[in-house]
Amino acid sequence: MNTCMPPDQARTEFDVIIIGAGINGVGLMRELALQNVRVLVVDRADICSGASCAPSRLIHGGIKYLETGEFRLVAQSTLERNLLLRNAAHMVHPLPTTVPVSSWFGGIVPSIRRFMGLGGKMADRGTVVTELGMLIYDFLGRHNRVMPRHRFFPRRQSRARWPHMASSVMATGMYYDAAITQPERLGYECVRDALMTESGCVIATYTRIEAFHDGTLTLRDRLSGRSWQARAPVMVNAGGAWIDQINAILGLRTRYIDGTKGSHLLLRHDALLRELDGHMVYFGTPDGRICLAYPFLGHVLVGSTDIRQGDPDTALCTDEEQAYMLDMLGALFPGFRFSADDVIYRYCGVRPLPASGASDPGAISRDHIVHEDRLGPAALFSLVGGKWTTFRGLAEEVADTILPRLGRARQVSTRRLPIGGGRNFPPPARQAIYTEGIAEAYGIPPERARTLFARYGTLAQDIARFCAHVSDMPLRSLPTYTRREIAFIARYEQVRHAADILYRRTTIALSGALTPDVAREVAEVAGDTLGWDADEIQRQARDAWQQAETCHHMAAHPVPETARPEAIGA
């Protein structure tokens, strides 16, 4: 079902209009659709194409938030992490996390000051502070627990486990969080769930707001040029870092957002990958920031910076940020060499944090705030803050505010409701049987069934069915994908640009596999499916590769396919 085009009517009535198709917007769309609410989501670009496609790809409780006393946020985050490990098991996986410690009592005074709201940077988190934080973290994450409690290792065991780590590390603590392989795709699956549940829902991507008057939005499709109107008694601004800009278009002057830029690198570094062995290292730096590194798609994901950013449209990961992250990683692992040549992909996004006068960007709360304003006859809710981990909880909270305004009552709880390809997801002991069943039912090789299952969870059944019993050839430029697989995504997954496939419905770009040839072939398949002419196919391929060069600093040579396993830590 592909309903990303505007409705046939020139003016359409909805119950709720959501501006912004990031994770907060599409998460709320799913939540409301499951209550049989007619929702329109509008975005000037693709689903999860802003900051929602540029996170650290962690589903985590936020152990560092304990330092600023945000216990409620940590408790909610650990609960939502535990729920996502069940509800999105096809994408969210446990991630053992190691914290290196270089002193016994470091950080006690700064941690007390931060906890009391007096500021101060944590340049050193010693054993006492780290152990106390992990104890509290375990306690707050006790509800719906699915992972082990923390452990502490003295110097000898730490040196044996981490032989290339700095000699100043005297102990390590280990606790468990989680990582998500394809957050952008999970955002799409929220949209899919909504459209499959409530026929009155519509998503209008690549659509801009032209005007707002007397409760009516005038919208224009950026690709077709068609103009249309929509109205609803409730509107939601889920525009992320662009919230204040969107409110200005709607006629409101607000200053709700104080964005900070977070940049990340993907490294090809086999030696570090082997030493990580499926673990994340989460470590403080001398200037008080937090950095991390963990295995991701056969490479190492490194992050992140935290820099104030005024205009989100100009945000890029700079050479200076790249050098900073490589330097910090090199200080923790002096036994390895790191250089810009190791970087195969870099990206950044602007966190939509609440406006704050804090001098330290890292001290700004990651909790969410919901502002309510009036737009003539309509109520407007602006969703400020939040993060990937808590998107369902935020959607639940906002839906429970909106439903009474519509005279509705909640019909379904999403707390234990699987998302997309997580529905009917088999436990590990039964996954081999499940993929063998796919292979047998649709006449595809067992290895191919396992690949589809790793990428799409139980939605692999739909793709395997589409690929079966017809001539399906591997892509010449990227044989781990097939033409019918790409055609399915183009036809059924709200695709309007080749870049939607390359950057957000798959991990082709992020895994380092994108080249000009791949962009060209994927655009050809998508164009054949969606009816593009030869000039449009060429333009789509060119634009997709230009994004790779200018935004992600990719080179025009592929990463060897043997270096691109599908799962975290594989």
pLDDT tens-digit series, residues 212-232: 998 899 999 999 999 999 999
Res 568: pLDDT: 38
Res 139: pLDDT: 86
Q: Give the C-alpha distances (Å, rounded to integers) separating 417 from 87, 142, 226, 457.
A: 6, 20, 37, 15
Peptide bond into 304 cis (omega under 30): yes
Does residue 394 carry a pLDDT above 80? yes
Does residue 566 carry a pLDDT above 50? no
Closest CA to 406 of 235, 230, 229: 235
Q: Which residues contact 475 (CB under 8 A, 6 or more apart)?
A: 481, 482, 483, 486, 518, 521, 522, 525
Question: How sure is the predictor about 116, in pLDDT bands with cuts at 50, 70 and 90?
Answer: low
pLDDT digits (tens, 9 = 90+) for 327-353: 999 999 999 999 999 999 999 999 998
Q: What is the dihedral of CA 513, 514, 516, 520, to 10 degrees?
A: 110
Whole-prediction pTM value?
A: 0.92
267: tokens are: 């490294």
Res 142: pLDDT: 81
Res 562: pLDDT: 44
Does residue 515 carry a pLDDT above 80? yes
pLDDT digits (tens, 9 = 90+) for 20-53: 999 999 999 999 999 999 999 999 999 999 999 9
Strands, E, within 166-272: which ranges? Answer: 171-180, 202-204, 207-213, 216-221, 227-231, 234-237, 260-267
Contact present, 295 and 273 (Cβ < 8 Å): yes
Percentage of the chain surpassing pLDDT 70?
A: 90
565 burial level (CB within 10 Å; 0-12, 13-18, 19+): middle
Indicate the helix (H) or strand (E) that contains 81.
helix 71-87
Calculate mean pLDDT across residues 377-395.
95
Percentage of the chain surpassing pLDDT 90?
A: 75
Contact present, 258 and 288 (Cβ < 8 Å): no
Question: How sure is the predictor about 108, in pLDDT bands with cuts at 50, 70 and 90?
Answer: low
Contact present, 518 and 475 (Cβ < 8 Å): yes
Question: How sure is the predictor about 569, in pLDDT bands with cuts at 50, 70 and 90?
Answer: very low
Res 565: pLDDT: 40
Calculate mean pLDDT across residues 89-93.
97
Q: Give the C-alpha distances (Å, rounded to integers) separating 251 from 9, 103, 209, 236, 246.
A: 26, 54, 12, 14, 9
Calculate mean pLDDT across residues 156-164.
96
114: tokens are: 């931060």
Res 402: pLDDT: 98
pLDDT digits (tens, 9 = 90+) for 463-511: 999 999 778 999 999 999 999 999 999 999 999 999 999 999 999 999 9
Does residue 5 carry a pLDDT above 70? no
Residue bearing the bigger pLDDT, 125 or 115: 125
365 burial level (CB within 10 Å; 0-12, 13-18, 19+): middle
Calculate mean pLDDT across residues 223-249.
96
Q: CA-CA distance, 241 to 352, in Å (whole number)? A: 4
Does residue 450 carry a pLDDT above 60? yes
Calculate mean pLDDT across residues 238-261.
95
Q: CA-CA distance, 157 to 170, in Å (whole number)? A: 10
Closest CA to 68 of 289, 386, 368, 365: 365
Helix (H, G, I), strand (E, B) or coil at 307: strand
**The residue to which tokens 């949209």 are assigned:** 191
479 burial level (CB within 10 Å; 0-12, 13-18, 19+): exposed
Contact present, 194 and 64 (Cβ < 8 Å): no
Q: Please give the single-letter amino acid code of residue 163.
A: P
Lowest mean pLDDT among 1-5, 335-339, 380-384, 543-547: 1-5
Per-residue buried b or exposed e for 155-172, using 16+ beta carbons within 10 Å of the residue's own CB: eeebbeebeebeeebbbb
Question: How sure is the predictor about 9, in pLDDT bands with cuts at 50, 70 and 90?
Answer: low
Q: CA-CA distance, 367 to 349, in Å (whole number)? A: 17
Does residue 358 carry a pLDDT above 80? no
Q: Give the C-alpha distances (Å, rounded to integers) separating 201 from 17, 215, 224, 264, 307.
A: 10, 19, 20, 35, 37
Res 470: pLDDT: 78
Res 169: pLDDT: 94
Calculate mean pLDDT across residues 342-367.
81
Calculate mean pLDDT across residues 83-96.
97
Q: CA-CA distance, 79 to 178, in Å (whole number)? A: 12
Calculate mean pLDDT across residues 68-97.
92
In degrees and rounded to multiples of 5, residue 210 shows phi and psi of -95, -35
Res 136: pLDDT: 86
Q: What is the mean pLDDT of the chain?
A: 90
